Amino acid sequence: MADFPDWHGTTIVAVRKGGTVVIAGDGQVTMGQTVMKPNARKVRRLGPSNAVIGGFAGATADAFTLFERLEAKLERFPGQLTRAAVELAKDWRTDRYLRRLEAMMIVADKDVTLVLTGTGDVLEPQGGMAAIGSGGNFALAAARALADSEHDAETIARRAMAIAAELCVYTNDQLTVESISGAAGEPK
């Protein structure tokens, strides 16, 4: 069997500040040294009332499978993002099919931001900021550096993504941004 180059795709950042939570993601999908798609949409609204936003990093088909599963959990546990995420993480870790999925997710509602992984982790990030993907560390560092500025959550997320795009070859500046206003403030 031939070795195919790895697919790389994405940087996602979440910022919670001033009553708004924002998730922003770039649009680049790369295979090896080739940009396969510059404008993929990796951030979207979820749940029966679109009260949850989410972004993914990793294999696209895997992420869509996980989004569908999370939406089913949100229908089962309306208004309970943490409960739905924990239930998804349990399935993801124990189901033979789901265990093979290669993706990470950041999801948020008006009250909580969570990072979900295939190892069963459901993590609430410190300070209401999180980032995943190839440029995630750059975006998170930039967002944290801007956290105490006068900028709002969306501006911080956009600037953090711009910095990540300058530093990470697998990240571009074609963003998808979703937000929820009326969100809880930054966690202590």
| 82 among known catalytic residues | no
Buried-state track 166-185, b at ≥16 Cβ within 10 A, e below 16: eebebbbebbbbbbbeebee
Task: Indicate which residue of 10, 11, 113, 171 is catalytic.
Answer: 10
Strand order in the sheet with 129-133: 129-133, 11-17, 20-25, 176-181
The residue to which tokens 């909580």 are assigned: 112
Measured in degrees and rounded to the nearest 5, phi and psi for residue 116 equal: -115, 135
- Return the active site residues: 10
